Every structure is written in C-alpha cells, then in structure tokens.
Amino acid sequence: MTVAASSTPVFTYKIINTYPHDSQAFIQGLVFEDGLLYEGTGLSGQSTLRIIKLETGDILKIHELPQEFFGEGITAYKDKIIQLTWRSNTGFVYDKNSFNLLRTFHYPTEGWGLTHDGKQLIMSDGTANLYFLNPENFKVTKRIEVYDGNTPVTMLNELEYINGEIFANVWLTNSIARINPQTGRITGWINMDGLFPVNDDDKTKKVLNGIAYDAKNDRIFVTGKLWPNIYEIKLVPAK
C-alpha cells in the first residue's frame, strides 16, 4: 500500500455485496449510470466498451475498438460515453445508448483514467498530474498536481468523482486516493488490502482498478483487472 503522510486519514472497507464479473476483462474504466455498469477494457486487439448488468455480470452491449488502440478510462457525460486510449493520444465519444461513434479527439499525454465533476472532464496520465478538460472541445482548462503532504503521488489511474472528491486508483497498489479537486491534496487513503488476494505471478496484471459510484443509492463499487467479481463496499475509518 502507498504510505500515507502521518496526518492523512486512512480508511478501510466493509464488503456489502459481491457481483459476478468477466474474469477475462482487463478493466480500465468503470461507470455506474441509469442502473447499469459501463466498462472500458484494454489490451491491444482486445479493447472494448461494454454495458454490463450488475447483478448477473451479463454483457448487454459490446463495442470493439480498432486493433491498434489500447482502451483506457471511460466516463459517462450527459448522453455520451467518452473513452481514452493509452499511447495513441486519441479519445472516442460515443452515443451512450447505441455506442455509435460521434467523434474523436486528441490529447498530448498518455490516457489513463477519466471522470467528470458535472462541468469538466478530469483525466489522469500516470503521473501526479490531473487535467481538467472542457467537455465540448477537450481543451485543458486546468492542471493540478496531486500531493500527500509534501510528496507527489504518481501512477494515478482509474478515476471516479464522488461527493466533491476525486477517487483514484494508484496503479500497482491496493490503495485508492481521495483527492481535493481544487488543491490536489490527498484528503484520505483507502486501504483495499485483502479484497482480492493475488499471487506473485499476477501482481502486475490482476491489479486493483475500477471505481464506480451509484449517486442515487450512495453505493461504491470496486474491482480489478481480470477479477471475477465486482464488490460493493462501505468505507470504514481504519483503527
């Protein structure tokens, strides 16, 4: 786990529900919207965008990305799904219901995680930076650097905006960072150790990645790459 600064609150979790998930899905982005899960998966030649039924894990709709793209983070913004790619500097905008491609856009960094605060898109690129983008023209309007105390926090990956905070997976760790979107300061850490034990051979593949929030029912969902389950969790202050 990423070590928190001494003054940074640490949380753990309680599992509320466990749901089935496609264990072949190399998950890069997760969103809960209108009672359904939207999932973006990665790997070149295997990247997809999907609609999933939470309770059963059934794939209700799937769109395959062109072979040359490695899919990354997604977010649902109004009536659209927006999806990043890793090193192609290219994003896709789809109709949320049909998955028809509406347009592409470009950005100068790698694409990792994506969410929004209702007004701007928020993107990570694997560094300590978070970029705020205009959702109409995809121009960067603001950049913040994420710190825990005086230490920059890198490897920021999948993102979710929850009640005024940005939740971010930190790649290759069992940690989720809670980030103040105005200052970039870490407001808390969520220690997810023990949620899904992984053997040494899989530690760089079957990593924690994927956060979704059901705002209507105040539910948080988490999962990981190639995990067979999605977990609904409740946050608990660490003792």
- Report how far residue 147's alpha carbon sits from residue 24's, in angstroms, rounded to the nearest whole number: 34
Mean pLDDT of 192-209: 80
* Amino acid at site 151: T
Which domains are assigned to the chain?
A: 10-237 (2.130.10.10)
Contact present, 141 and 120 (Cβ < 8 Å): yes
pLDDT (tens digit per residue) in 113-166 = 999 999 999 999 999 999 999 999 999 999 999 999 999 999 999 999 999 999
pLDDT score of 16: 98
pLDDT score of 205: 78
Q: Which of 135, 136, 140, 167 is nearest to 153 (CA)?
A: 167
N- to C-terminal Cα distance for the chain?
16
pLDDT score of 1: 53
Q: Which of 89, 113, 106 is nearest to 179 (CA)?
A: 113
Using pLDDT thresholds of 50, 70 and 90, give the confidence band for residue 63: very high
pLDDT score of 7: 85
What integer best gives the mean pLDDT of the chain? 94
CA separation (Å) from 206 to 8, 30, 84, 201?
Answer: 27, 16, 20, 9
CA 113 to chain centre: 5
Using pLDDT thresholds of 50, 70 and 90, give the confidence band for residue 110: very high
Is the confidence at residue 203, as pLDDT, over 80? no
